[in-house]
Amino acid sequence: MADTPPLYNHNSNPDENHSPFAKVSQTNTYKKDDPPLIDLKITNPVTYLKKWWKIILSREGINISFRIRPLTAILMTISIVSIFTGIGLTVTKFYFLPLIVPSNLVSTESFYSGTVYKTQNQIYLMTSSEKVYPLKKPPPNIAQFFNQKVVIKGKLDKNTNTLEVKQIEILQ
């Protein structure tokens, strides 16, 4: 049995005439595409919490978008400028408000309370804040209201500071 070649020769040289019966070579058949049979990793759970929180926050909020055309932008700019400079309030008060609200619904009459006094030629209403308003067009029975607390429904003329009487009643 000495003349038979060994199955595996550690000292075999490829240059020698006789080749070994079996050759053992180490080949790597593992590919990176192949998933491992068992893969165990232990990582920091705080990392996953941070990633989860980042995903939650990235989906938070409200997205609002709108498009303004050039003509609309110009009209909005004119409106805003006129409101803040006072021009718009004047135009609205004297032009648009009478168109929107009928004049019979807008009343400039108010109620005034106080005491009625008479001097030699004038009749006055003195309010609790000691403002004095001369009465314009008092009713014929005004004498019964002298030195008494009354409520007067009327219209105040701011130019002359006189109160035009529409109705008068004694305050109980």
pLDDT higher than threshold 80 for residue 58: yes
pLDDT on residue 56:
85
Mean pLDDT of the chain: 77
Please report, for residues 95, 148, 171, the alpha-carbon distance to residue 115 in angstroms, rounded to integers and kept in the order given.
Answer: 39, 5, 10
The predicted model scores a pTM of 0.39
pLDDT on residue 89:
62
pLDDT on residue 28:
61
**Tokens describing residue 24:** 């053992």
The band of 71, judged by pLDDT with boundaries at 50, 70 and 90, is very high
Average the pLDDT over 117-141 and give the result: 87
Which domains, from first to last, does the chain contain? 70-100 (no CATH), 110-170 (2.40.50.140)
Highest mean pLDDT among 10-14, 85-89, 162-166: 162-166
State the Cα–Cα distance between residues 148 and 117, nearest whole angstrom.
8
Q: Which residues, other chains included, contact 68 with Cβ-Cβ below 8 Å and sequence gap of 6+?
A: 76
Average the pLDDT over 56-85 and give the result: 84
